[in-house]
Structure 1
Amino acid sequence: MKKIIIGDHLIKSFGEGDERRNVLGGVTVEIEKGEFVAVMGPSGSGKSTLMFALSGTDHVNDGKVLFDGKDLSKLGENELADMRRTQMGFVFQQPTMLKHLNILDNIILPSMRGSRRNAAEITAKARALMQRVGIAELEKRDMTQVSGGQLQRAGICRALMNSPKIIFGDEPTGALNSKSAQEIMDLFSEINAEGTAILLVTHDATVAARTERIMFMRDGTIVSELKLPKYNGTDTDGRVGQVTAKMREIGI
């Protein structure tokens, strides 16, 4: 299967001289088109830094990232921004939305810039996505008038507006209760089943167990991987057990 992302010997450092510290210590990783992947590890292990490097959101000190065959280091800031906006989607633990805009406007705003579609087309796409994820009735509400789970659904809608090739999620269920987290993971599973690759950073074994491959990080390196069959809605406890057993085995 063709690779959507290749990260080759990625090194990311902070500080200078004796204070210099590698957050990524030569990480090599490949993500296939349509793959569902999780990255796990303790705080400070480099999980989020790896995600930011693979998405071109942050520059590395050494190594290179190929996205769909394009070397991100060869792209200017505007080209990188356009690539992230049109080919990648992002879902964070706390969706970054503007308080003075309602939910619908927050969803469509990033898609308006540089789009060849007119406002009516973009709005129609947003409303269709909101209908799909069960928040169609909330379009006029502002972000303080919805629950955390509803706000995260809006964030997923925004991430899907430009039909991305991959969605990056940084602890996307971290602020949700277990029921809302399960509903969000159900949405991710549906999106992945339609062919969109997903890379999730998480500390939650229940979330990771819904993916197909888990990369475990410690001290800026990938120390182990666990592959699972595609999730079919059954044996959730067994999958979680495999993840937690692997975590104990490698000591994270």
Structure 2
Amino acid sequence: MSSIITGTRIVKTYGKGTEQATVLNGVDVVITKGEFVAVMGPSGSGKTTLLFALSGMDGITGGSVKFGDTELSGLRENVLADLRRTRMGFIFQQPTMLRNLNLLDNIMLPAVQDGKRNIAELAQKARHLMKQTGISGLEYRDTMEVSGGQLQRAGICRALMNTPEILFADEPTGALNSKTAEEIMGLLVAINQAGTAIMLVTHDARVAARADRVLFTRDGHIVSNLTLAKFSGGDLEARGEKVLAGMAAVGI
């Protein structure tokens, strides 16, 4: 299957001179179309930096990142921003919503920004996504009037508004209770099984157990690559045990 993201010898440093720190040190990674990849590692291992580098949210110091055949480092910032908005989706631990907009308007925002699409059609799509994610009826709620789980579902809806080819998720269940986290992961698995690739950073073995592959990072390197079968729903405990064993093997 063809790749959607290819990172080659990625280097990312911060600071200068004696204060310089290397966060990614010659990392190679390929994510294929429709794949679900989880990234795990101790704090400071480079996992979130890797997500930011592969998505073009942060520039790299050396190496190459390609989205399909497009080299991200060669794009002007406005072109790169348009690519991220129209072909990628982003989910974070704390969804960043505009407080002066209701949930429906926040969800529609990425699709409205190009100014070329019918607002009524966008609203219809947003409502459909809200129904799929279990938050139908909350369209006109203020962002402060919903639970953390409902807000995360709204963030997923927003990430899907432009039908992205890949979702980047940074600790999407980190601020949720276990029941809500399970529900959110169920949604992400369904999104992946419908064809959207996912790259997810997590510290939770049960979350990583839903992925097709788990990359383990340490000191700016990918030190292990655990391959799991496509998630079917009935073997979560056994998959979790494999992830825990992988974590133990690399000292996480």
Whichever residue aligns with residue 217 of structure 2, its letter is M
1:232 match: 232
Partner residue in 2 for 1:186? 186
**1:90 & 1:34 partners in 2: Cα distance?**
16
1:157-172 aligned at under 5 Å gives the runs 157-172=157-172
Instruction: Quote how far apart the aligned CAs of 1:115 are.
Output: 4.4
2:58 is the alignment partner of 1:58: yes
Write the distance in 2 (CA, Å) between the matches of 1:115 and 1:54. Answer: 27
Instruction: Give the direction of change, closer, same or farther, for the CA distance of 1:88–1:37 in structure 2 (3 Å limit).
Output: same
| 1:142 is the counterpart of 2:142 | yes
For residues 89 and 217 of structure 2, the distance between their equivalents in structure 1, rounded to whole angstroms, comes to 23
Number of the residue aligned with 2:82:
82
CA deviations over 1:24-78 (Å, ceiling 9, x no partner): 0110100000000000001110011000000001000001111011000111000
Counterpart for residue 48 of structure 2: 48
The one-letter amino acid paired with 2:84 is R
2:217 matched residue in structure 1: 217
Distance 2:99 2:178 in 1: 26
Secondary structure at the residue paired with 1:121?
Answer: helix
Tell me how far apart the structure 1 counterparts of residues 32 and 105 of structure 2 sit (CA, whole Å).
Answer: 33
Q: Provide the rounded CA distance (Å) in 2 between the counterparts of 1:100 and 1:49.
A: 30
Structure 1 stretches of at least 4 aligned residues deviating more than 2 Å after TM superposition: none
Equivalence map 1:99-110=2 (5 Å): 99-110=99-110
d(CA) in 1 for partners of 2:86, 2:15: 33
Given residue 233 of structure 1, which amino acid in structure 2 is its aligned partner?
Answer: G
Matches within 5 A, 1:10-29: 10-29=10-29
User: SS of the counterpart of 2:128?
Assistant: helix
Q: Mind listing any 5+ residue stretches in structure 2 that lack a counterpart? A: none
Secondary structure at 2:137 match in 1: helix
What's the offset of the Cα at 1:116?
A: 2.6
Q: Structure 1, residues 76-127: CA drift from partner, whole Å, max 9, x if none?
A: 0000000000000000000000111111011011211114311111111101
Alignment-mate amino acid for residue 57 of structure 2: T
The answer for unaligned runs of 5 or more in structure 1 is: none
What's the % identity of the aligned pairs?
61
User: Matched residues in 2 for 1:164 and 1:82: separation?
Assistant: 12
Amino acid at match of 2:139: E
8 Å Cα contact 2:38-2:214 kept in structure 1: yes
The corresponding residue for 2:6 is 6
SS in 1 for 2:163: coil
Q: Tell me what 2:249 maps to.
A: 249
Give the structure-1-normalised TM-score.
Answer: 0.99
Between 13-22 and 30-39, the greater mean CA deviation after superposition = 13-22
Partners of 1:249 and 1:24 lie apart in 2 by 21
SS at match of 1:65: strand
d(CA) in 1 for partners of 2:63, 2:96: 30
Give the count of matched residue pairs.
252
Distance 1:97 1:113 in 2: 15
Residue 162 of structure 1, CA deviation: 0.3
**d(CA) in 2 for partners of 1:24 and 1:172?**
22
List per-residue Cα deviations over 1:164-209 (Å, max 9, x = no partner): 0000000000000111101011101110011100000000001000
Secondary structure at the aligned position of 1:138 is classed as coil
- Paired with 2:116 and 2:167, the residues of 1 have a C-alpha distance of 22
RMSD: 0.7
